[in-house]
Each structure stands twice: as structure tokens, then as C-alpha cells.
């Protein structure tokens, strides 16, 4: 017993001697300021709150970051280690947040340096304007860092070179000056690098630092103003994704990248690459995505692409390619597509194919979702090519615009393509009627069938059930009958174009529901009756109203002035009468001159049908202006060839953004408004064939943008203004002067004044 007691005493003394300091330290630690609540360390919680204090958060994304909500590991965007409780992840990317989330703004607090265990930091897609060097330099545990799409200023922090464990670095569109990239040489573990939308044109030899990244597997240098790329790199065998789109590379770029045999994705879209696609591309057989569109490539599409059995997405649009092999050797439809049966996307827009679709093509693509063969010269009958063979149940987009397809639209299109969202068959030779089964395509967003030979009546009470439908373009066909009331009630309809057909009857006087229309084009038909009241106060977003060349009658009611977003009003060649309302001055969409706020139809919604390229604006004496791409900035009022009377409202001169004003061939009286010269954006002014009197306002001589001025066949008198519009701008002036017609160039007017 005595011996046992002595042994116990010795053991106790040993424990006190050797474990005492540890026990004391443990006690001190448990009483320190860095205590834990849940999994959260207080020092990190305070650092996060300090960060929140320095940012603007309009949508309250950080509402869970509060003192009374002590466990910061449960805060929005914060992730902690389950064992240690330290913050290891901070994800405040705006796009990945909720749909209502808006950008965080302000500076990044240096207090984040307290997050010493941080491994993942995503602050992309916000509006941060500063980031402390001491924070960047201290976050040495980071593996993932994304600062893309912010407003940082100054030079790129060289302290990034301290992050030796970094695998992912996103710095696209940050506003940093990228002239010094030396820090990259220290990031030996980096696998992903994105410097897109940065100006690297003045980096000189700095691209050599990218070349030192031995482990790189993804490199994104889109829109960096680059024109050269290193011929040798240290990541030839590791790189799987290379994005060099939107730069200034020429044909030599192929020489620099053809050794990247492990590439799975290559994007060279929108460069200046000329010449043929090199045969040596055959060694890049791992490619799943190959994007070469919007270049100057010429020659045939190489047959070696048939070896790319993993290819899923191929884009060769907008080049000068001529087909895979000469006509004398066989068909021009790309034969190498036959072996690529896993393709989900085929985009061969405007590649010069002069052929029929071969029999094998419709049968081999079970996963095809996007098919774009637009703007070629492909022929054949649409139903025979697609109804019987193509396994199209997955297809979302079908764009055959601008070819030579004939035949009719399949009656069972809803069965063969049940998931179709974008149907574009415009500018072909398709005939027959539009089947009612098209209304059973419940996901349809765009139907563009313009410029064909379609005829007959439209399907009736079914359009309102297409809840996703945004665009209907059936213009330039031979369709007839009345327009179904249900077509106006499609709940998301933004664009309705039925021009150049044979539609007739009155527009419905009352509508219970009406889509959020931005464009209505019913021109060149046989509509009649008064303009309905809803075509005003119930269309607050309408930007284009085009009803020219019909038989509409009656007055323009003041409700029409509630179209505040209107940019183009074309009511020419009708039977409208009465006065032009003074409230036309309320068209605020025509009053602005800011060119940064163009026509706002969604580009995706009008994919393939290019409505803006089809609108022509007719002015006097047979002159036709095609605005094409610049239509997005056009603002126009054309009331010509009607029976309007009374004076020209002076309020019209407040529409400072107006490009075209055509009031010709009416019964207008009174004087030309004195302030007409304030409309500095006018390119066309036609007031001819009215009963206007008085003198020409002197201010008209200041309209330096005019291309066409016609005041002929009125009762004008007095002197020609001494200063004429700029000679280089005005192409023609046509005046009637005291019953004498004077037609002359600007130079002649200037010399005779």
C-alpha cells in the first residue's frame, strides 16, 4: 500500500509538472477574445462585420450579417470548416446569388486579413473599387480567387504573387492596369487564369510570365487587344481550354497553338484570321468545342474534322468558307459531320453551302439542341428532310433562315420538336398554310416565318396559350383573313410583325388582356376602321407602331400620346383625318438624343429573324432609306398621304431626337414652326404638298444633318434663308417658291443667296 501511494504521488507530481503549463494556457485561451459561438470565431465575425460596414448593399444580400446573429458560419455567402470553425469560404458573386440580388459597392476592408484560413474567395460581378494590398498579401491559404467584373483602379497588386497555393485566378474586366504581370511567375500551382477584357497590348514581354505556368489547364484572354502569342509554352501538354476570342490575331495564331494536343475547347471567334483552316489541326482530336466564327477564313472545310469524334460544338459562321470539297468531287454539305453523332450544337451560318441536306444528316443526332444553317443556299423540302428522320425531340433552336428550302411546315411539328423555343424559317420558298399544331409548341419564344410563300388564314384561338412567346414575324407572305384576337393576348409578346400580307378587317375595339408589346408592324395590308383606343394607354412600352399602307380612317385620339416609349410612328398612306394632336410633344422616346439607349428588343428574342433589318422608312418622291443596323437609333414620324388638316403643332419641335419628319401630302395649313431649327437630329424633313404659307423659318438653315428637304407645292413666300444647311450633308432640296418650282443642289442655293 505504501509503495502504491508513493507511486501515485510521484505520478501526480509528474502530471502537474509537465501538464500544468498546458492547462494554464488552455484556461487563458478559453478566456481570450477569440471565443467561439457555434462554429464561428469572434475575431472573424468582427472582421466580416467591418467588411459589411464599408459596402453599399442595395438589395440587402448581407442582411444575415448581424451582431445578434452570432454564428457567422451560417451567414449568407460564408462557409466554415466543420471541425475548426474557421472561415474558409466567402462567396459574394452577384450572378450566383438570387435573381433579385444587386451589386455590392464600395471598398474592401483590410479587416478581411483576419480571415487567415480563407481558401475560397469570390467577389466577382460586383462594383468594388479598391482592395487593400495587405489583405491580398496575407491571404496565403487561398486556392480560389475571383475578382472579375469590378471597378478596381491602379496597378494590379504584385502581392498576388504571395498566393503560392492558388489554383484559380479570375481577373477579367477588373479595371486594373495589367502592365506588370511578374507576380504570375510565383503562382506555380495555378491551373485556371482569366485576364479577359484587360488591355494586354502594352505588356511587352509580360506574356512570358504566363508561359511559366507549368500546371495551367484553362487560359482565358478574350478581348485583350492581343495580336501575337508565344510560339512555345510550358503548358502545351496540360492546357484543356484556350479562349483567345475578340483579339487581333491573324493566320499565324494556328502556328502557335497547333501543339496543344490536349485542348478540349478552343475559341478564336472574332479575330482577323485569314486563309484556310490548316490541315495540321487534325492533331487536336480531343476537341469538344471549336469556335472559329467571325474571321476571314477561306477555302474548304477540311475533311480531317471527321476525326474529331468528341466534338460537341462547332461554330464556323461568318467566314468565307466554300464547303469541304470541290463540286466535281461530290456534295458540298460537310461530309465530316457524319461521324460526329454526339453533337449538341451545329452552327454553320453563312458558310457558303450550295447543296441539299444529305439523307444521313437527319438521322444521326439524338442529342441535337441547336441547329443553325442560316444564310446559305441549301435546298430541299423542309418536311421531308426533318419529319421522317431527324430525332429532334431535344431541339431548342432551329434556324434555316436565308436558304432555298421549299415545301410546307410539318403538320405534326409539335410532336417532332416538342421542346422547340426558336423557330426561324424566314427567307425561303416555303408554301402552304401555318398549321394549328404550331400553337402546341408550349415553350415557343420566337416564330419567324417572314419572306416565304405562305398563304391562307392564321390559326385562331390558340395563341394566348403560348405563355413564353415573345416574337411573331410573319411578314412578307400571302396570308389573309382576319388577325385572331388571341394573338394580341400572348402574355409575353414583345414583337408582332404581319406586314406585307393580305390581312383585312377592323382591329378589335376592346381587349381584356394585352401582351407587353414593343413593336407592332401591320403595314402593307388591307386593314380598315378606326384605330382602337387600347393602341395607346395600354401599351406603355411600345417603341415601333407601323400601320402604313392600309385603309384606316378617323382621327388620332389623344390617348395615342400616352405612348411615351415610342420611337417610330408610321401611319402613312391611310385615310386618317383631323388635326395632329398637340400632345405629340409627349413622345419622350423621341425627345431624347442620347445614342446609348437604343431600341430595346431582346437580342435573344429576335434570334435569327433580324426584324430591325427589315424595316424600311419611305419618304417622298419614291426615296427609300434602309436603315438596317442603325435602325436601333432611328426616331421617326411619318403621317404622309393622309387627310390631316390644321396647323403643325409647335410641340413637335421639342422632339429633339427625331431623325425623320414626313407630313407630306396632307391638308395642313399655317406656318412652318419657327423652332424647327432646334431639331438638330433631323435627316429627312418633308412638308410638301400641303397648304402651308408664310416664310421659311431662318432656323431651318441650322439643320446640318439633313439629307433630304422637301417644302415644294405649298404657298410659301419671302426670302430663302441666307445660310443654308451644310452642303456636304444635304443631298437634295425641293422648294416651291411663289408658284415657281426650284429644285437645286445645296451649292446652287448657296451661290444664289
728 versus 293: the higher-pLDDT residue is: 293
Within a domain: 115? no
The pLDDT assigned to 424 comes to 95
The proportion of the chain whose per-residue pLDDT surpasses 90, expressed as a percent, equals 50
The per-residue pLDDT for 633 is: 61
Q: Which three cell numbers stand for residue 347?
A: 452552327
Q: Which residues contact 10 (CB under 8 A, 6 or more apart)?
A: none
Is the pLDDT higher at 604 or at 732? 732
Mean pLDDT for the chain?
A: 82
Residue 736 lies in a domain: yes
CA distance 76 to 401: 47
DSSP percent split of the chain into helix, strand, coil, nearest 5: 25, 20, 55
* pLDDT confidence of residue 106: 93
> What per-residue confidence (pLDDT) applies to 549?
96
Average pLDDT of the residues in 115-139:
92
Quote the number of domains for the chain.
1
pLDDT in tens, 706-735: 888 999 999 998 887 765 544 444 455 666
CA distance 209 to 229: 12
Q: Is residue 59 part of a domain?
A: no
Asked if residue 85 lies in contact with residue 39, where contact means CB atoms within 8 angstroms, the answer is yes
pLDDT tens digits, 342-368 = 788 888 888 778 788 877 776 667 778
**208, pLDDT greater than 90:** no
SS (H, E, C) 225-267: CCCCCCCCCCCCCCCCEEECCCCCCCCCHHHHHCCCCCCCEEE
The three three-digit cell numbers of residue 602, written as one number: 431582346
Q: 695 is in which domain, residue-wise?
A: 679-753
Return the pLDDT at 391.
Answer: 54
617 or 674, which is more confident?
674
pLDDT tier at 488, thresholds 50, 70, 90: confident
pLDDT digits (tens, 9 = 90+) for 555-566: 998 877 888 889
Instruction: For residue 732, tell me if it sits in a domain.
Output: yes
Q: Give the Cβ contact number of residue 31 at 10 Å.
A: 8
Q: What is the pLDDT of residues 650-671, one digit of tens each?
A: 999 999 999 999 999 999 999 9
Whether residue 727 is contained in a domain is answered as yes
Q: Could you tell me which residue, 551 or 628, shows the higher pLDDT?
A: 551
Within a domain: 446: no
pLDDT, tens digit (0-9, with 9 covering 90-100), for 37-82: 667 999 999 999 999 999 999 999 999 999 999 899 999 999 999 9
How much is the pLDDT for 326?
A: 37
Set of cell numbers at residue 179: 502592365
Residue 25: the pLDDT is: 33
At residue 493 the predicted structure's pLDDT band, cuts being 50, 70 and 90, is: very high
236 vs 253, residue with greater confidence: 253
Report, as an integer, the average pLDDT of 587-611: 55
- Domain-embedded: residue 587: no
Residue 624 clears pLDDT 70, i.e. is over it: no
In a domain, 749, yes or no: yes
* Eight-class DSSP state of 716: E
Q: How far is residue 752 from each of residues 694, 703, 733, 736, measured CA to CA in Å?
A: 21, 19, 14, 16
Nearest to 612 by CA among 629, 595, 624, 600: 629
Amino acid at each position: 500500500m505504501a509503495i502504491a501511494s508513493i507511486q501515485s504521488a510521484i505520478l501526480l507530481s509528474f502530471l502537474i509538472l509537465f501538464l500544468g503549463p498546458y492547462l494554464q494556457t488552455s484556461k487563458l485561451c478559453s478566456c481570450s477574445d477569440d471565443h467561439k459561438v457555434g462554429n464561428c470565431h469572434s475575431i472573424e465575425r468582427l472582421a466580416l462585420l467591418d467588411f459589411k460596414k464599408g459596402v453599399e448593399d442595395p438589395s440587402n444580400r448581407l442582411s444575415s450579417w448581424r451582431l445578434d446573429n452570432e454564428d457567422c458560419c451560417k451567414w449568407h455567402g460564408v462557409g466554415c470548416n466543420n471541425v475548426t470553425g474557421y472561415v474558409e469560404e466567402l462567396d459574394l458573386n452577384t450572378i450566383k446569388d438570387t435573381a433579385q440580388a444587386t451589386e455590392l459597392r464600395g471598398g474592401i476592408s483590410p479587416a478581411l486579413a483576419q480571415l487567415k484560413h480563407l481558401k475560397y474567395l469570390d467577389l466577382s460581378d460586383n462594383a468594388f473599387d479598391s482592395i487593400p494590398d495587405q489583405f491580398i498579401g496575407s491571404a496565403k491559404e487561398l486556392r480560389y480567387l475571383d475578382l472579375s467584373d469590378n471597378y478596381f483602379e491602379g496597378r494590379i497588386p504584385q502581392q498576388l504573387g504571395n498566393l503560392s497555393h492558388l489554383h484559380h485566378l479570375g481577373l477579367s474586366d477588373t479595371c486594373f492596369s495589367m502592365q506588370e504581370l511578374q507576380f504570375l511567375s510565383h503562382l506555380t500551382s495555378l491551373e485556371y487564369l482569366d485576364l479577359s477584357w484587360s488591355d494586354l497590348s502594352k505588356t511587352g514581354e509580360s506574356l512570358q510570365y504566363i508561359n511559366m505556368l507549368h500546371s495551367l489547364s484553362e487560359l482565358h484572354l478574350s478581348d485583350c487587344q492581343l495580336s501575337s502569342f508565344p510560339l512555345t509554352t510550358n503548358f502545351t501538354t496540360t492546357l484543356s481550354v484556350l479562349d483567345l476570342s475578340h483579339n487581333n490575331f491573324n493566320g499565324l495564331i494556328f502556328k502557335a497553338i497547333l501543339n496543344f494536343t490536349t485542348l478540349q475547347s478552343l475559341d478564336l471567334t472574332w479575330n482577323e484570321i485569314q486563309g484556310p483552316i490548316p490541315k495540321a489541326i487534325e492533331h487536336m482530336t480531343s476537341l469538344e468545342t471549336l469556335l472559329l466564327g467571325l474571321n476571314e477564313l477561306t477555302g474548304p472545310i477540311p475533311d480531317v474534322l471527321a476525326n474529331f469524334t468528341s466534338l460537341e460544338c462547332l461554330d464556323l459562321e461568318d467566314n468565307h468558307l466554300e464547303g469541304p470539297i470541290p463540286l466535281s468531287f461530290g456534295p458540298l454539305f460537310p461530309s465530316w459531320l457524319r461521324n460526329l453523332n454526339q453533337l449538341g450544337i451545329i452552327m454553320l451560318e453563312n458558310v457558303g453551302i450550295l447543296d441539299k441536306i444529305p439523307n444521313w444528316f437527319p438521322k444521326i443526332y439524338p442529342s441535337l439542341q441547336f441547329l443553325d444553317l442560316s444564310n446559305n443556299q441549301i435546298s430541299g423540302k423542309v418536311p421531308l428532310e426533318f419529319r421522317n428522320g431527324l430525332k429532334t425531340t431535344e431541339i431548342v433552336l432551329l434556324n434555316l433562315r436565308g436558304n432555298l428550302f421549299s415545301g410546307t411546315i410539318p403538320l405534326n411539328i409539335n410532336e417532332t420538336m416538342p421542346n422547340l423555343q426558336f423557330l426561324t424559317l424566314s427567307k425561303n420558298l416555303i408554301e402552304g398554310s401555318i398549321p394549328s399544331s404550331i400553337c402546341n409548341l408550349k415553350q415557343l419564344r420566337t416564330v419567324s416565318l417572314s419572306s416565304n410563300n405562305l398563304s391562307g388564314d392564321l390559326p385562331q384561338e390558340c395563341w394566348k396559350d403560348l405563355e413564353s412567346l415573345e416574337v411573331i414575324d410573319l411578314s412578307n407572305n400571302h396570308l389573309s383573313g382576319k388577325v385572331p384576337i388571341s394573338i394580341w393576348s400572348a402574355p409575353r409578346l414583345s414583337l408582332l410583325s404581319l406586314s406585307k400580307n393580305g390581312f383585312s378587317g377592323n382591329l378589335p375595339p376592346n381587349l381584356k388582356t394585352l401582351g407587353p408589346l414593343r413593336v407592332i408592324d401591320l403595314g402593307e395590308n388591307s386593314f380598315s376602321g378606326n384605330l382602337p383606343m387600347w393602341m395607346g394607354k395600354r401599351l406603355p412600352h411600345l417603341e415601333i407602331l407601323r400601320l402604313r399602307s392600309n385603309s384606316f380612317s378617323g382621327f388620332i385620339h389623344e390617348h395615342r400620346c400616352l405612348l411615351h416609349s415610342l420611337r417610330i410612328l408610321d401611319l402613312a398612306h391611310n385615310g386618317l383625318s383631323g388635326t395632329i394632336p398637340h400632345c405629340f410633344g409627349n413622345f419622350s422616346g423621341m425627345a431624347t438624343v442620347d445614342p446609348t439607349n437604343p431600341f430595346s428588343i431582346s437580342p435573344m428574342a429576335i434570334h435569327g429573324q433580324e426584324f430591325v433589318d427589315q424595316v424600311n422608312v419611305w419618304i417622298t418622291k419614291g426615296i427609300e432609306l434602309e436603315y438596317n443596323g442603325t435602325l436601333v437609333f432611328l426616331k421617326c414620324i411619318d403621317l404622309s398621304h393622309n387627310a390631316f388638316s390644321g396647323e403643325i403643332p409647335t410641340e413637335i419641335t421639342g422632339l429633339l431626337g427625331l431623325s425623320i419628319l414626313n407630313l407630306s401630302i396632307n391638308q395642313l395649313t399655317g406656318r412652318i414652326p419657327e423652332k424647327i431649327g432646334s431639331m438638330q437630329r433631323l435627316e429627312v424633313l418633308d412638308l410638301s404638298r400641303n397648304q402651308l404659307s408664310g416664310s421659311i423659318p431662318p432656323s431651318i438653315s441650322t439643320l446640318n444633318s439633313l439629307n433630304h428637304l422637301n417644302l415644294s407645292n405649298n404657298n410659301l413666300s419671302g426670302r430663302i434663308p441666307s445660310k443654308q444647311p451644310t452642303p456636304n450633308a444635304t443631298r437634295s432640296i425641293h422648294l416651291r417658291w411663289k408658284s415657281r418650282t426650284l429644285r437645286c443642289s445645296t451649292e446652287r442655293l448657296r451661290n444664289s443667296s
